[in-house]
Structure 1
Amino acid sequence: MKVIVLGAGVIGVTTAWYLAKLGHEVEVIDRQPAAGLETSFANAGQVSPGYSTPWAAPGLPLRALKWMLGRHSPLVIRPQAVDMAMLRWIGNLLRNCNEYDYDINKSRMLRIAEYSRDCLAALRKETGITYDDRQKGLIQLFRTDAQVAHARDDMRLLSESGIPHQLFSVEQILEREPGLGGAKALLKGGLYLPGDESGDAHMFTQRLAQEAEELGVTFRYETTIEALDASADSVYGVRTSEGRFTADAYVMATGSYAPGILRPLGIRLPVYPVKGYSLTLPLTDESRAPVSTVNDETYKVAITRLGDRIRIGGTAELAGFDLRLRPARREILKISFSELYGGGDLSQAVYWAGLRPNTPDGTPVVGPSKKFGNLWLNTGHGTLGWTMAAGSGRILADQIHGRKPDIPALDLSVDRYARAFA
């Protein structure tokens, strides 16, 4: 079967690789000159199954209000960008802010994230691919007793899902991350997730694209996707800046841009772009740098070791498709890193922003489009695209191939939103 994958980010490339491994003829179309140059380019670098948590949680509305009233808020909503798409997405998000839906959504996310981590390990073993990867776990850092108490509540779902974890004292944190010694007085505890990993998603995507090419995958770069042509129940072509291309099946893996392409076909996909920022700086002092990766719960910032670099990523900004680099967002990343570590040269930091495709319930949309028998969806991974990429690609490739996925996947499809759109 010939399959066209729309999008050459980490989601599209892993999907293409798995499809090619199953013997399919695959083409990947992307507007960029190479793979992994948009949201996959400079994300936080974490492969974090244990940290897979939906934003929609009990108490979020009040916490979000408090954040936005603070000077260094991890969440910003740009009033000039408010439109019906944003309001509808926020409304659906708020409807999920209850304990019942939170438990369901987090369990789904943990299921696919754990599976994805295992798929990534198998892929790494099969291909020998490297990407400044480390398998040294993650520590979520708490600066307040309230954060520690909330972690104790959240550990219930980790236990139910079989996710290894341990609530660390400050002394245990420093044993794993001695570079935090200067920040000891700021810390109250931490949640250690030994199964989590880190690595450069951009490096991985480009190297896996090379592996995919060796399997026969064709990449059509610098080709802008304009529209999908469809009949009542089937897609029969994709119009691009380089002409029209056809296949037996089509995979939508264009992240935040998927809803705009699907809307003319009558498919309402509840994915909204949430802008995140990162700084990448050279490592200057290993004694004041992360061993692997930590998450600063107070500022919602991740700090990750990537070879001889440090990646600081975080913040959430609802601003539509605006990719401007705002100085205030840079400041919160610098503050978190400076307070905790400091072993990197911030004067040489490269500043970047990308659009995370977020669903209101946190779970990605992976599976058939339902309306069109040959159109498949793989998007909506939010901040966890790198974490869930291998698993999502494997699940979708299996479904297209007609093979039952290794884990339950029916509740990952767009069908779960039918009630909200009724």
Structure 2
Amino acid sequence: MTVLVLHRNPLEPFPYDQWLRDYPGDVVVLAARDRLELFGETVPDDDLGYRRLEFLNTFDDQESLRRRASSLAAEFAVETVIAHHEADVDLAAGLRQAHGLAGAWPSDTAPFRDKATMKARLRVAGIETASYTVPRVAAEARAFAELHGFPLVSKHRHGYNAIGLRILDDPDALEQHLSAAWPEPGSVRDDLLLETYVPGRMCHVDGLVVDGRMVLGWPSQYQYDLASFGTDAGSRVDVALDTDDPLNKRLLDLTEGALAALRPERSRLRDHAFHAEIFHTPDDRLVVCEIAARPAGAKVREVLAAMFGVNLGEYATRAQAGLPLPGLEEAVAGGPRPVPTRMAGQVLMMKRPGLVRQVPQAPQEDWLEHFWVYARPGQLLDPASGSSDFLVAAVASAPERTECERRLRLLGARFEAQTEIVVPA
């Protein structure tokens, strides 16, 4: 009996050996070497107690990754496949189907991975999303712009981490984008999604589904624009909503409805974490942007751990491996979901190109939950490659949201003052 973990993240936040300490079989981890190096981690020279810990130079070669993962699944008679990165959800589903394993197969993950399928199912269920199209040729994109006006948003249908996302403010920006997307006259593609821009603040709801039922969930709100990761040199604050915030119930109910629309009764996707992004518009509407069937990125896992004592990465792993979920027994048995006794949030700074002269020092406040620095003085940095390519990150807690946000902004201002990155002459 073996669990195979496909791991495209740094190892430090994902101690599978601890999370699966009571698993009665073996654990095999296939990891991406370049992701460890990106976050400044040293590649281990032993198996860290796993049955096997193996590295590929990169997971970007999907065919090589698929072949190696399939080989490991056969060699170790794998019964469970786990993948917590958005880019590997489909691969894990394909492995399960190919080897006849329990868990989500490609038809079950498709509504969460294909943004066009996702929006279509949500709209059929009466859930509001942005208007959208999948333009096969440039003329179809122009026709959509003529109908809906600007701004527009272009993204990859199967994208993640805001990579490739473009906000098109006017016809000139659209034409520039179309020239890059369709460089050859008459060329056809179906991997892009074009949608109307939804104004307002982005909220996100994160939690856990066990046997098809949400057993943990809580909303937070980004205080920044996700798409600005490549140009934002300042601190970016994200903070949970208070228990008495009137948006809470609306966001949780909407998320449950969205999950039901994307995961019908016949779905094999029964145990999973989720990350839903929902716009709260100036006229008080809630519009679903998208929802993923995996744990959130950034430091959301640590934020919820500070609020509930539950790490979504750990509990999604344990749920898929069929292990108990301490602290959630009542919710799993059909009782009420837990409510946090304190608030928490995260403050982030993105990498930016240049030579690192100075990085922030670890704060000493007792309300600091976690602190990370992903660069060192003397290091030459490239621009942020996605919305999770951080320079600095911290998680803080407080009795209520207002004080939590104040603490996060205090940390953010300090991090900005203590960071020095210069462009070499």
Normalised by the size of structure 1, how large is the TM-score? 0.29
Structure (1 or 2) with the larger CA radius of gyration: 2
The answer to which structure has the higher helix fraction is: 1
Question: Which protein, 1 or 2, shows the higher relative CO under an 8 Å CA cutoff with sep ≥ 6?
Answer: 1
Normalised by the size of structure 2, how large is the TM-score? 0.29
